[in-house]
Structure 1
Amino acid sequence: MYDNTCKFIAETFPADIATWLLGEPISLTKLEPSELSAEPIRADSLIFLESEEIILHAEFQTAPKPDIPFRMADYRLRAYRRYPGKQMRQIVIYLRQSGSDLVYQNTFEFDNFRSSFEVIRLWEQPTEIFLQSPGLFPFAVLSQTNNADNVLRQVAGQIERISNNREQSNVAASTAMLAGLVLSKDLINSVLRQEIMRESVIYQEIEAEAMQKGIQQGIQQGVQQGIQQGVQQGVQQGVQQEAVSFVLRLLKRRLGEVKPELQAQIQGLSVQQLEELGEALLDFQSESDLVAWLEKL
């Protein structure tokens, strides 16, 4: 959840991210991991952004993992193979404070091979950095501060001054998600207005994922236990109807608008088929993948 929120921020506010990580507001566009290699890439925590001259590879990590140095070297070689003339900046951003030595590792080497990358530990970064632009507001609570409550209130004040409703919603929801790493849910909800966050794409996506988990648990463990897991609304309105709505939202997020005839097919699927589609669509790259999946039924 936290890694995906960071990816969403980077995709939505690339200029702010570039200013922070590269030192200048370079115009960046998203580079799909599949463009670097035919081999699978774990895309849950990384984002690739590119301009004509440079590729920015950022890894957002909640906790350190021993394989990070190898992964950074692997991605660097893949990028060089695809774009040998471009510079590349690789940065691992750790979100939650850790005493592990792994958060200080910035090289991968064996024999005569050596690859380096940068590391940012958010809890060591001055708070002021993240109060300069909307795309950085969500990281402020995780910065170097002894009073995260007060920082959240400062950010909330900044968010209230954002005039674009969609931008305001996205920033508020992203801030709430990341603040959950260091602050209680009750405090976050008392500072950030729920009605603003509900319009955010990332808020709706995470809400949909939570509903999917609830539906799956409800199917596997029975309606009563499903209610206890947070799918009261799904049970009241019909599990199948809620599952259809959830799958269509995920497909729109993944592929864009779904054709009416495809929507009609999806509305006729059983709950089990909808659950299977919910898992399969994470690998879809285009509408043709959806069509092919439906044709197999």
Structure 2
Amino acid sequence: MSFDNVCKFLAEQYPQVFVKWLLDSEETSIKLLKTELNVNPIHADSVLFLRVGKRILHLEFQTEPKSKPPLPLRMLDYYVRLKRKYNYPITQVIIFLQQSNSEVVFKEQYEDENTIHKYRIIRLWEEEATSFLSEPILYPFAVLAKTESPQQILEEVATKVNDIEEKELQSDLMTSVSILAGLKLDKNLIQSLLKEEIMRSSVIYQEIKKQGKIEGKLEGKIEGKIEGKIEGKIEGKVEEAFNLILKISNQYLGEIEEILANKIKNLSLEKMEELTVALFEFDCLEDLELCLEYNT
């Protein structure tokens, strides 16, 4: 589970906390919208849609500013789709987790010849760390926020999490803190302050273990079946990669029709390898179709 997916997990499990933080709203009528609008390319960062009363909150967590299509255009695309589908006011927020000097991180609108579309960006490293210490669900963001001593903040967060009585919440938060702190602090320091035995019952922790096993098996298959032992036999590698994709899709998503199969055949070997891993994150063939729209 990637850094941004950890954030998405927290927002899905505790949406009221994020609505309060980002919209300054006490609205309790909150519904998680499914990903029928999901047109993310392979390995895109996490996207979340919440219906908050009669408003849509489109929330994204980003580790890196690089995106295909570029983030500003993607925000416009999502806005139009959401507006057409729900016709509600829409608030769009991108939260950048890791400090960057990229101009994308500081650009809060899409500009074209006839269009200007605005959205909101939160750069965690500019937010005061102490502002995340009053709400347990937001503890994982404190270490990534502005502070003279990230280690001291991590120590304080670890103490607070240890004092949480609800074991499931404690486990999930400790795992989330451990993962996100890895963007800023040394792994050995994190391990010395956070107890792995508490993390083991966490949904996030279990998902990481599960995903690691899947990716490990896939890596072996890709390395053995796709890369092969003899360099230069690209055509054979592509054929094997294509067959592996068909096999995985048939097992988990459904049978791929000829038109979709032809799009996959036109992918580069590298994209096929990426798609092979990404298939396990899709819920249905529609997710695969939308993904290929941005990669063909």
TM-score over 0.5 for the pair:
yes
Pair 1:63–1:280, CA change in 2 (3 A): closer
What does residue 175 of structure 1 align with?
A: 177
Q: Deviations over 1:95-146 (max 9, x none)?
A: 1111222211011121221110001100000112111111101000000012
Give the whole-Å Cα distance in 2 for the aligned partners of 1:26 and 1:4: 24
Tell whether the 8 Å contact from 2:46 to 2:60 is kept in structure 1 after alignment: yes
* 2:65 paired residue number: 64
- Opposite residue 12 of structure 1, the aligned amino acid is Q
Asked if the contact 1:62–1:94 (Cα under 8 Å) also holds between the matched residues in 2, the reply is: yes
SS in 2 for 1:33: coil
* SS of corresponding position for 2:143: helix
SS at match of 1:46: strand
Q: Which runs of 5+ in 2 are unaligned?
A: 225-247, 253-274, 286-296
Letter of the 2:180 partner, please give it: L
**C-alpha distance after superposition, 1:1-21 (max 9, x if no partner):** 011111101111111111111
TM-score relative to the length of structure 1 = 0.72
Give 1:48 shift.
1.0
| Aligned position for 1:74 | 77
- For the pair 1:134 / 2:136, whether they are aligned, the reply is yes
Corresponding residue for residue 26 of structure 1: 27
Q: Residues 215 and 125 from structure 1, CA distance in 2 versus in 1: closer, same or farther, beyond 3 angstroms?
A: same
Determine if contact 2:45/2:62 at 8 Å carries over to the other structure.
Answer: no
Cα distance between partner residues in 2 of 1:106 and 1:279: 29
The amino acid across from 2:72 in the alignment is P
Higher relative contact order structure (alpha carbons within 8 Å, sequence separation ≥ 6): 2
Shift of residue 182, structure 1, vs aligned partner: 0.4
What letter matches 1:6 in structure 2? C
The residue aligned with 1:229 is none
Q: Deviations over 1:49-100 (max 9, x none)?
A: 112211111111112126000001100000100111x221101111111122
Q: CA deviation at 1:218?
A: 4.0
Shift of 1:278: 7.9
Question: How far, CA to CA, are the matches of 2:81 and 2:14 in structure 1?
Answer: 25
1 CA distance for matches of 2:221 and 2:81? 42
Instruction: Work out whether residues 170 and 201 of structure 1, in 8 Å CA contact, stay in contact via their aligned partners in 2.
Output: yes
Amino acid at match of 1:164: E
Give the equivalent residue in structure 1 for 2:282: 283
Contact 2:61 2:96 in 1 (8 A): yes
Match of 2:215 in 1: 213
The residue type paired with residue 166 of structure 2 is N
Counterpart residue identity of residue 2, structure 1: F
Q: Choose from 152, 156, 165 the match for 1:163.
A: 165
**Normalized against structure 2, the TM-score is what?**
0.72
Q: Answer yes or no: is 1:145 the counterpart of 2:147.
A: yes
1:108 corresponds to: 110
CA distance in 2, matches of 1:150, 1:112: 49
Change (3 A) 1:218 1:150: same
Question: Which deviations, in whole Å up to 9, do the C-alpha atoms of 1:138-189 show, x marking residues without a partner?
Answer: 0000000121111011111111121211111111111111000001111111
- The CA distance in 2 between the partners of 1:279 and 1:95, in whole Å, is 22
| More displaced stretch, 11-20 vs 74-83 | 11-20
1:221 deviation in Å? Answer: 5.6
Percent of aligned pairs with the same residue? 39
In the other structure, the counterpart of 1:198 is 200
1:16·1:25 contact (CA, 8 Å) conserved in 2? no
Corresponding letter in the other structure for 1:283: F
Partner of 2:227: none
**Shift in CA distance, 112/138, structure 1 to aligned 2, threshold 3 Å:** same
| 1:41 shift after superposition | 4.0
The answer to whether the 8 A contact 1:33-1:41 is kept is no
Q: Which residue of 2 aligns with 1:3?
A: 4
> CA separation in 1, counterparts of 2:214 and 2:179?
18
Rounded to whole Å, the distance in 2 between the matches of 1:281 and 1:99 is 33
**1:194-244 per-position Cα deviation (integer Å, ceiling 9, x unaligned):** 01111111111112112222223345668xxxxxxxxxxxxxxxxxxxxxx
Residue of 97, 100, 112 corresponding to 2:99: 97
Please tell me whether residue 54 in structure 1 is matched to residue 55 in structure 2.
yes
